[in-house]
């Protein structure tokens, strides 16, 4: 028969156990400085009277030494973005792979990556930047409405 762990009757012992667990958690915690990329939309929206991707292209040229990725929810958006960026002489490959595989690749620094990401981010220490399609164009695709089961009432 398995023995149940005994609860300590004194409060100070409980606090000591909690503190010890907290110290162990701190030792295994990684703290990373990260930043949002929401300013991209302001740059593309405020560039003259017409929307322009020139500010995005300029930023990508500055980030050439970092892993910089544009994240699109589906391959059609990725193809359209690639086409638009080609007008600015920015040729980016399109990948439909998990983020860890894309980030680990050494054969490119910048790419368009298919997949879902709610918001872009910058990790300066890791030299990694992700910008989402929605941040560039100020769009947000609607999720299909949840289907509610029809309630059928039987009259007896």
DSSP state of 13: H
pLDDT surpasses 50 at 58: yes
- Per the structure, the complete domain to which residue 45 belongs is given by 35-137
Does some domain include residue 98? yes
What percent of the chain clears pLDDT 70, i.e. is strictly above it? 63
User: Based on the structure, what is the number of domains in the chain?
Assistant: 1
Buried b (16+ CB within 10 A) or exposed e, 5-18: eeeeeeeeeeeeee
Give the model's pLDDT for residue 8. 47
**Does pTM surpass 0.85?**
no
pLDDT surpasses 80 at 5: no
Biggest distance spanned by C-alpha atoms of the chain: 77
Query: What integer is the mean pLDDT of 55-73?
Result: 84
What does the pLDDT look like over 116-131, one tens digit per residue? 888 888 888 888 888 9
Does some domain include residue 88? yes
CATH number of the domain encompassing residue 63: 3.40.50.11140
């Amino acid at each position: 028969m398995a023995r149940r762990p005994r609860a300590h009757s004194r409060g100070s012992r409980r606090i000591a156990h909690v503190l010890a667990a907290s110290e162990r958690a701190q030792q295994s915690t990684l703290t990373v400085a990260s930043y949002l990329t929401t300013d991209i939309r302001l740059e593309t929206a405020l560039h003259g009277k017409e929307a322009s991707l020139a500010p995005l292209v300029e930023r990508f040229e500055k980030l050439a030494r970092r892993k910089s990725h544009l994240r699109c929810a589906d391959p059609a958006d990725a193809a359209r973005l690639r086409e638009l960026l080609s007008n600015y002489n920015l040729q980016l490959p399109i990948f439909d792979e998990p983020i860890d595989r894309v980030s680990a690749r050494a054969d490119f620094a910048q790419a368009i990556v298919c997949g879902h990401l709610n918001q872009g981010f910058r990790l300066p220490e890791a030299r990694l930047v992700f910008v989402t399609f929605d941040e560039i164009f100020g769009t947000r695709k609607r999720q299909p409405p949840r289907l509610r089961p029809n309630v059928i009432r039987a009259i007896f």
